[in-house]
Structure 1
Amino acid sequence: MSMGRGRAAVPAALVLCLVLLLHNQVAEAAVYKVGGAGGWNFNTIRWPDAKHFKAGDVLVFKYNPSLHNVVKVNKRGYRSCVTPRGAKVYQTGNDRITLARGRNFFICNFPGHCEAQMKIAITAT
């Protein structure tokens, strides 16, 4: 009988370790307010410089939704300031976006805003 209990304890211990590991990874995600104290606004293009982002980190975009928005775009959309078909548009003024591994591109697609450097490119490892 004790043999059965010993075998059952191993999977339970393994499950516990996996839960703790997963919790630890979630707890390590950083939260960044895009643009710092000024929030998501013009000239935020250099805001990501010298920061080290990881997949799972959260960007918080704070802005006046009657003046701006946030659009998750691809590299081409970022470079050309054109919103690709099907791009996700955020409009709440308090948007939380989790970074994916690799390059992440965001623009404001209000007329002229992206062209005025209201855009950021972030690489998450």
Structure 2
Amino acid sequence: MARMKSSMTMFMMMIMVASMQMHGSMAQTRHVVGDTLGWTIPTGDAYTTWASQQTFNVGDTLFFNFTTGIHNVAEVSQAAYDPCTTANPISITTTGPATITLTTGGAHYYICTVGTHCQIGQKLAINVSATPAAPTTPPPATPTPPPVPTPVSPPTTTPSPAPVPSTTTTPPPTTTPSPSPVGANPPSPTTSGPSPSDRTTPSPPGDTTPPPPSPSTAARSFTVVVPATFLAVALAFFY
């Protein structure tokens, strides 16, 4: 149990040290006022030009490099800054060099209250950002999702249709009888045996009377007799 408490204590100490190191990594900027010129009577608008090239944030420090008894640094309001009014400053430091921490955002005004140094140009106006500067860390790269493979469909094979047996029957060849020649007389049917007109009825036995001539025989006889008679009459008429 004691070992666990000791481990927890060590862990908390490590977190505190890491937090202090992180706070130190977000180190505030130390601005040397005027750079190599220091805090003195300038030529022209040297401090205005220097301030325009800086970025001030809450927590930064201003380092005024001057000799004690020759210069001082006083923070004043905007109303006192323009006419270089030295009465009732917000704060004043007479021992040099002096370091002032920027604890609030907004406009800050500093002047030297010795003699007419402010009127000559030993004055500084800056604008402080209310948000402390944070280290710029590039945003993490967004991983690009891998491309989704497109599913490949297998080729579709269409089965060949089964052969359908043919139900069409070929009609047998039609034989057309050749037409008879024009003018040809159809053959007469041949009859075997005597015609009904030539048939004679047999007489019963014992009858001696000759049968009467058949109508066809009488007609043939008449046909033969009539032309002969007509021929005789014609010869008699001429002679």
Normalising TM by the smaller chain, what interval?
Answer: 0.7 to 0.9
From the superposition, tell whether residues 104 and 17 of structure 1 become closer, same or farther in structure 2 (CA, over 3 Å).
farther
The TM-score, its normalising length taken from structure 2, stands at 0.43
Query: Partner residue of 1:113?
Result: 117
Query: Partner residue of 2:60?
Result: 57
Query: Partner residue of 1:30?
Result: 29
Q: What letter matches 2:111 in structure 1?
A: I
2:41 matched to 1:42? Answer: yes
Percent same amino acid among aligned pairs?
27
CA RMSD of aligned residues (A): 2.3
Q: 1:89 aligns with which of 88, 92, 96?
A: 92
Q: Deviations over 1:19-56 (max 9, x none)?
A: 74565345420111111112101224322112111111
SS at match of 2:79: helix
SS at match of 2:107: strand
| CA drift at 1:99 | 1.2
From the superposition, tell whether residues 86 and 114 of structure 1 become closer, same or farther in structure 2 (CA, over 3 Å).
closer
SS at match of 2:117: coil
SS at match of 2:121: coil
Q: Is the 8 A contact 2:69 2:95 kept in 1?
A: no
2:65 matched to 1:66? Answer: no
SS at match of 1:80: coil
**d(CA) in 2 for partners of 1:57, 1:51:** 11
2:79 matched to 1:79? Answer: no
**d(CA) in 2 for partners of 1:119, 1:86:** 13
From the superposition, tell whether residues 93 and 79 of structure 1 become closer, same or farther in structure 2 (CA, over 3 Å).
same
In structure 2, list runs of 5 or more residues that go unmatched.
130-239
**d(CA) in 1 for partners of 2:87, 2:16:** 39
* Stretch deviating more after TM superposition (21-30 or 92-101): 21-30
**d(CA) in 2 for partners of 1:123, 1:20:** 32
Q: Is the 8 A contact 2:78 2:109 kept in 1?
A: yes
SS at match of 1:114: helix
| CA drift at 1:97 | 0.2
